[in-house]
Structure 1
């Protein structure tokens, strides 16, 4: 199994897909999944941008790539993603629209990952739940933990929430491998 790992793409959601496409074309090696390790910049509503994203978007419109390219269908992007046929699995960072993600997570409460984009190619892991990625030959098990860890117990939605802490603690109790 080949996995491409990215982090801190800050709205440039299309970039990992394009880089994986380039890698595959230049090497002939197939990538099975993209893992994105926080700060994806998933802001479907411009009104909900955080201060840092507002600042950077003034000089780089790509910071708004999720809003621009992944909330309404663009046929060119749809065709590209369909041909590439790779999913990106993400964990939350602190630069996301957590209200948006929380609502999607609640709608998909029976799943360990849930799609966040119009093409259903970008998925977010629920914190503390075991994940399984499979190809015909291999299986990768992992646990995604997103948001910001906080020892002060702050409850703002960018920090790990109580229900996520409970899942993580439950997992640690059942697994002696950590």
Structure 2
């Protein structure tokens, strides 16, 4: 009987924790950003970590599509790696975006995780939850200026360590091109 009471109390505590908004238990520091393209005449991408104030860095850069390559053959893939020692011994985490059509990516992942972060520091448009992004809505020249990551929509708890986000954009039919952006950052747990 005592065991059943403990299980009920544990379940009640679990439900209580899930029902309340969790306090953010982590912070991050950008360490660097790199960008590259296999064909800069089609897509050119560059980025850098830019100092905003002491110990605070934002992302600046651009992703320019010189020809209209946005169609159903343009995909985005995001992989997140982690190292707990800070060396290059990175391991793939379970958090990733599989190869996804750019419109699906924009309407699902961009809206949920990145739109608030880029709203005041880029030329990317803002959309309501019920508005679908179309190819015409995506600018061919995307610029970022000292963007900070808004972590309010991310998990409340992230393990302390060094992380690398590798974002690849590519076409599956001619004209072929593959561009990537690699962002390194350090997460401090509280």
Taking structure 2 as the reference length, the TM-score comes to 0.23
Structure number with greater Rg is 2
Q: TM-score, normalised by structure 1?
A: 0.24
Higher RCO, 1 or 2 (CA under 8 Å, sep at least 6)?
A: 2
Q: By percentage of residues, which structure has more helix? A: 1
